[in-house]
Amino acid sequence: MVRCLPACSQFSYTCSQNESDDNTASPSDSRTVRVYAAASVQTQKNETSELIDKCRRFVYSAEMQTVKQTAKYKQVMQLVRRLGIVRPRDARAHGLPGDALWLLARRGLLEQRGRGMYAMADHEYTEHHSLAEAAKRVPQGTICLLSALRAHALTTQAPHEVWIAIDRKARLPKSGAAKLRVVRFSGKALTEGIERRGIEGVTVPIYNVAKTVADCFKYRNKIGLDVALEALREAWRGKRCTSKELWKYAEICRVANVMRPYLESMT
């Protein structure tokens, strides 16, 4: 617009000079040229004003979008800090964008723990972190056998896999950073004796002491009879469960006859 005004003025001046030199030019023709020049300047002013308005609206829209994204990112960070370990589906369940986890991980604010698992960059890991990660990866599973024994401090073994029980018809889960050892249960053997612990902000379902001891006898061929006997002795010695509870879960797991001689020897 600044360049157009001198140009148009020069054009008007030139036209006027030509008119004065040209004896045949009429005053009406000179006025017509000036009117056209003024109209051209006004048109350019209007177009420039419209362009400025569009730029302002674009900048405002971009600023508002940035503010909204920043607010969303803050909400995602608060969710991760509260839940401990978060998956994209967890973020979407709270009305937040799932891809924000990946973007925040790229910025170094979050840490990716295996496929689709995110935690705070300054997350404090405990010795049972693998249980929290497994529970997050397999929400319908329950920590069992050697991993449950370790959580209950009933064994000196440190399994390199997380033992987790799922339904016989459930889809086999994929292992992430924490390797999984999947065992299929059914009926009351799957649903009874579950307690829930909070580990690193994650609610972890795990079988109680008596149920875990009974499970060890049921799967003694996989983990070893010596492990099952050690668990039974430690549970009884530490008064972690009663004989009534042991008999109850022995019946559910159908190992009452197997456990009977060992239980009678202790009682």
Assign residue 35 a region (left: φ > 0; alpha: ψ between -120 and 50; beta: otherwise).
Answer: alpha
Q: Which residues of 217-247 are buried (b: 16+ CB within 10 A; e: fewer)?
A: bbbbeebeeebbebbbebbbeeebbeeebbb
Write the CA distances from 250 to 3, 90, 101, 220, 259, integer angstroms: 94, 37, 45, 13, 7
Pairwise CA distance, residues 190 & 166, whole Å: 7
Alpha carbon 90 to its chain centroid, in Å, reads 5
The larger pLDDT score, comparing residue 162 to residue 54, is at 162
Strand order in the sheet with 194-199: 180-185, 162-167, 142-143, 202-207, 194-199
In this structure, is the dihedral angle defined by the CA atoms of residues 217, 219, 224 and 228, taken in order, positive or negative? Answer: negative
State pLDDT tens for residues 179-235. Answer: 899 999 999 999 999 999 998 888 999 999 999 999 999 999 999 999 999 999 999
The amino acid present at 89, given as its one-letter code, is R
- Position with higher pLDDT, 165 vs 1: 165
Q: How confident is the model at residue 36 (pLDDT cuts 50, 70, 90)?
A: low
Q: Tell me the pLDDT of the chain averaged across its residues.
A: 80
Confidence at 58, pLDDT banded by 50, 70, 90: low
**Least confident window among 80-84, 128-132, 138-142:** 80-84
* Contact status, residue 199 vs residue 126, Cβ threshold 8 Å: yes
pLDDT confidence of residue 128:
86
> Which of 8-17, 56-65, 73-82, 91-100 is the least confident region?
8-17
Lowest mean pLDDT segment, chosen from 18-27, 65-74, 98-107, 129-138: 18-27
Q: 71-120 has which fold?
A: Arc Repressor Mutant, subunit A (1.10.10)
User: Residue 257: which residues within 8 A CB-CB, separation 6 or more?
Assistant: none
Percent of the chain whose pLDDT exceeds 90: 38
Query: Quick check: 6 pLDDT over 50?
Result: no
Between 226 and 64, the more confident residue is: 226
Average pLDDT over residues 162-186: 86
**Taking a C-beta distance cutoff of 8 angstroms, is the pair 116, 110 a contact?**
no
Beta-carbon contacts of residue 15 (< 8 Å; ≥ 6 apart) = 30, 33, 34, 37
% pLDDT > 70, the chain: 74
The residue-averaged pLDDT of 70-98 equals 84
**Among 100, 91, 118, CA closest to 176:** 118
> Which pLDDT does position 54 carry in this prediction?
66
Question: What integer pLDDT is reported at residue 67 of this predicted model?
Answer: 43
* Full-model pTM: 0.65
